[in-house]
């Protein structure tokens, strides 16, 4: 007997943390952890004060709430998303989930069954692949081309009678790439024409370099027929431990998702939901500062690449919290990444954690998550990568 969990791989971030066991960082060279995007700082002081008040004064934050989420938060999301994207969204088309990962799982549970297929551009977000494996749904890889952008025509060729959805993540995890609005609309048109659903994960939307709407999907009055939107409050307000995400979809899909949510967690944590609502209403200026800092770190990645390019490194994607780097070394990335801990005091994830086993591009890549390293940290990171003594591949940059 094989369990559902045995159908997939071990959690990559946990595997990477095990590389630190027994590792000693020499004086003056602290660990640079660029393996995970989750902010390590707590929520801003004003939000923590409000959360403390809620814990002390609002008994309902300690109780079960509605399965689909706090009514005020659902209504606030509907209003703000409608205004921001230029479309019509009803509160009844919004569900609150225990993080964006759960939003994805609930959407898949509502849309696909045993033996169905979902198209995932590669490199993919590994938790998406893990859940599809455990759900008995086949993840169909869609290799990305120049600029790490997926091709709708290649996607169309992968559609079969078992295909149920196409998943896009923008700004992308793991590659950082921001998908042009026109490209997103092409995928939406493809989904509609084939009777599929486009699932768009916008966890990192708040750190997009663009200031306008990242797409126009909600402007289509028929968007509920073929579009599901996912979002996370973890990054915007540093609520990672409070597990608060959002799922925007048709009432029909949410009715199915409600069954899943009720049996998995009953409801998203009440404290996180109330914190997200307060943040939306009170922290716009603070969030703008957070965005400016992340965009500055993104610029620092570009500024520092010259010293790595001279040594054969290539930057293929950067944005939001991530950079996708091609390394020049003979060893594959799944051997390089653990060696980086010992040799350079750097914890990063190998590209092999984001690609199918038969995709050679993963062996040439590293994902750098810079949410928790400032400009000085990025400078130190590049200095350490530039000094690595590993043997070079026979044709650097030509993989």
Half-sphere exposure of 25 (CA within 13 A, CB side): 15
Domain 5-42+286-386 has CATH 3.40.109.10: no
CATH architecture of the domain 45-282 equals 3-Layer(aba) Sandwich (3.40)
Largest distance between two CA atoms of the chain? 65
In angstroms, the CA 88 to CA 216 distance is 12
Q: What confidence score (pLDDT) does residue 395 get?
A: 58
Q: Are 202 and 210 in contact (CB under 8 A)?
A: no
Q: Are 168 and 121 in contact (CB under 8 A)?
A: yes
- Residue-wise pLDDT for 75-117, tens only, equals 999 999 999 999 999 999 999 999 999 999 999 999 999 999 9
In angstroms, the CA 271 to CA 243 distance is 10
- Residue-wise pLDDT for 354-397, tens only, equals 999 999 999 999 999 999 999 999 999 999 999 999 999 875 44
Q: Are 352 and 272 in contact (CB under 8 A)?
A: no
Per-residue pLDDT at 145 exceeds 90: no
Residues of the chain with CATH 3.40.640.10: 45-282
Q: Are 125 and 168 in contact (CB under 8 A)?
A: no
Average pLDDT over residues 240-261: 97
**Per-residue b or e along 2-34, where b marks 16 or more CB atoms closer than 10 Å to that residue's CB:** eeeeeebeeebbebbeebeeeeeeeeeeeebbb
Per-residue pLDDT at 161 exceeds 50: yes
Sign of CA dihedral 119, 131, 177, 74: positive
Q: What confidence score (pLDDT) does residue 397 get?
A: 46
Residues of the chain with CATH 3.90.1150.10: 5-42+286-386
Q: What confidence score (pLDDT) does residue 28 get?
A: 84
The two structure tokens encoding residue 198: 């486009």
- Residue-wise pLDDT for 46-59, tens only, equals 999 999 999 999 99
- pTM value? 0.95
Rg (CA), the chain: 21
The two structure tokens encoding residue 130: 């893990």
């Amino acid at each position: 007997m094989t369990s559902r969990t045995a159908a997939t791989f071990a959690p990559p971030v946990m595997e990477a943390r095990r590389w630190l066991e027994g590792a000693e960082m020499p004086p003056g060279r602290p660990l640079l952890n660029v393996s995970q995007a989750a902010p390590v700082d707590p929520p801003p002081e004003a939000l923590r004060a409000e959360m403390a008040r809620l814990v002390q004064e609002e008994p309902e934050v300690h109780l079960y709430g509605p399965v689909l989420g706090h009514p005020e938060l659902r209504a606030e999301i509907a209003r703000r998303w409608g205004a921001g994207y230029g479309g019509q969204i009803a509160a009844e088309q919004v569900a609150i989930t225990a993080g964006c990962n759960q939003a994805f799982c609930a959407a898949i549970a509502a849309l696909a069954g045993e033996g169905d297929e979902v198209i995932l551009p590669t490199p993919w977000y590994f938790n998406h692949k893990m859940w599809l494996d455990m759900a008995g749904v086949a993840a169909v890889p869609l290799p990305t081309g120049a600029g790490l952008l997926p091709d709708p025509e290649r996607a169309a060729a992968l559609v079969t009678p078992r295909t149920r959805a196409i998943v896009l993540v923008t700004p992308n995890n793991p590659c950082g790439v921001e998908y042009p609005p026109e490209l997103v609309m092409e995928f939406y048109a493809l989904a509609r024409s084939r009777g599929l659903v486009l699932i768009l994960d916008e966890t990192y939307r708040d750190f997009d370099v663009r200031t306008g709407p990242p797409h126009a999907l909600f402007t289509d009055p028929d968007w509920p027929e073929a579009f599901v939107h996912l979002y996370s409050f973890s990054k915007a307000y540093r609520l990672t431990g409070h597990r608060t995400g959002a799922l925007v979809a048709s009432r029909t899909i949410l009715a199915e998702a409600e069954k899943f949510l009720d049996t998995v967690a009953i409801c998203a944590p009440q404290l996180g939901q109330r914190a997200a609502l307060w943040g939306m209403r009170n922290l716009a200026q603070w969030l703008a500062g957070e965005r400016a800092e992340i965009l500055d770190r993104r610029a620092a990645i570009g500024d520092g690449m010259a010293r790595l390019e001279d040594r054969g490194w290539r930057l293929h994607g950067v944005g939001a919290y991530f950079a996708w780097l091609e390394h020049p070394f003979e060893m594959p990335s799944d051997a390089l990444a653990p060696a980086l801990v010992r040799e350079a005091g750097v914890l990063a994830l190998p590209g092999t954690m984001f690609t199918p086993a038969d995709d050679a591009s993963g062996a040439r890549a590293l994902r750098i998550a810079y949410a928790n390293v400032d400009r000085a940290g990025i400078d130190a990171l590049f200095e350490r990568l530039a000094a690595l003594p590993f043997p070079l591949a026979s044709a650097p940059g030509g993989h």
